[in-house]
Chains A and B, each alone.
Chain A
């Protein structure tokens, strides 16, 4: 069997009231003053650079870490850098109840794993999921487990399409392998 699970340590993006921060827009993720940067390696240092309380995220994040955030993550502009800055930091996965439409499209096209987890607010409110927990999520079955607390949870599994692109590495890599013409 092909390994389809990702695991890592969590960062839960909480506000002052201890709730998941919602509607984090692309300017909070990657500010427009750094849009001129084209090297992915240089983008990581600006990740979440405009989000109150999380400006030191680039210093704290370790490769493979998992970001847990509130609904409508990545609302706003179409900038690819708002995805690439996490690739730059080698963040392993982002979980949110929902994502901005273009953000989701950009992440899928970059082969960067993003998963929707409708019960995320619940899990966080009940402290079933906290920062520095070790979690493991299966991308295809949607089965997750908080290893630190030995508690299972569910996410929406990757669609076949998202998984194809993820496996290929990016939409471009996928395009290199495919040339079939489905148009009628």
Chain B
């Protein structure tokens, strides 16, 4: 019997033959903790293991991305706790200027195709975009991962999703993702690895893959892979991750728990209404909904390509008076790219506020929060009640967010 991508990756890191349902010790290529969860890992480590060395300091990292630079004393303290531990143990810190940890791990060539990565970030499964098995875990698990270089894992079943048809502007990878989320809901992919196939999936750019794989979390899945790459997308992934790029492929006779087809031909832009990411509707159904703020960024839509799409719509225009638009590049490298390509200027002149790279929106004390009664349209991945403050959040693509900020209401870019 053949094996799926996740089965191959786990097997390569255990040294025994694996099948779904089996619990195995899995070697970890990279273990990381961020400014959320990181201080707990330090506390646990010092209490349980004292001065004992880490399994391998070269494979252990801190990535600060939630409250960067710290805007509350608590976060400032917590980050310093991690820095001091890191210094003592000789581990590298990607500090408050670096950007979103999962993206940094890709850019730094640390999250490689076929490798295993764990950290205190529930969206670490975003690394499926480069064929890497990333997984978020609690601070107890990560503490022991720091100490032993391994963790245990129950090999998940795999769901196969074949995407049929193509999308065209103004639809984008985010609309494809929201549409798939609407079709799968939170049950079909629950506790499973997902493999996405089809011509459209194959030709997705790296940032499109990141958008799709990041929201497998909202589908309740373990991780998503897009195993096949068009020449162009393979080249791009290789360039970004700076190394020879050879993602694992599933065997033809591998066993899937289920195989589904989703037809996306001609989908219009999609918007998820409060308070659930799978509460997805066509943009036309929500047209005219008043918005106060827009947010473009997050691990789902914070890459250069995403910001370029928004800039293209804003270029030569101004957002509506009374509306604010917050833009947060995913990483320092993205910041540099939008600077060099003139994207930053178009965003700024269009009326956007551009902040330092990081997560934002998702953590208290950072930009992207809403007050009671405030309506926000965001490129993020979650819109649960209370998640980004007391207001209401709609989830959409960078193009729809930019267009809606120009109009002061939810609107499709083609109607501007």
Contacts and interface: CB of A to CB of B under 8 A. Distances in A.
A183 B48 contact: no
Nearest to A162: B23
A181 B56 contact: yes
Nearest to B156: A101
A176 interface: yes
B71 interface: no
Contacts of B48: 172, 175-176
Contact of B148 (A78, A104, A109, A175): A175
A154 to B, nearest CB: 16
Contact of A175 (B29, B116, B144, B191): B144
Contacts, number: 85
B328 to A, nearest CB: 27
B28 interface: yes
A161 B23 contact: yes
Contact of B52 (A108, A161, A179): A179
18 contacts: A78-B138, A109-B141, A159-B23, A161-B25, A161-B152, A165-B152, A172-B140, A172-B144, A175-B143, A179-B55, A180-B150, A181-B150, A182-B13, A182-B26, A182-B150, A183-B56, A183-B149, A184-B12
Interface in B113-166: 115-116, 138, 140-141, 143-144, 147-150, 152, 154
Contact of B149 (A104, A108, A182): A182
B148 A180 contact: yes
Contacts of B141: 105, 109, 171
Contacts of A159: 22-24
Interface in A19-74: none
Contacts of A16: none
Interface residues of B, number: 35
A71 B175 CA distance: 36
B140 A109 contact: yes
User: Closest 5 A-B residue pairs measured CB to CB?
Assistant: A182-B27, A181-B149, A159-B23, A175-B144, A181-B55
Given A179-B55, A183-B27, A108 B152 contact: yes
Interface string A100-111: 010011001100
A174 interface: yes
B266 interface: no
A78 B139 CA distance: 12
Interface string B14-51: 11000000111111111000000000000010001100
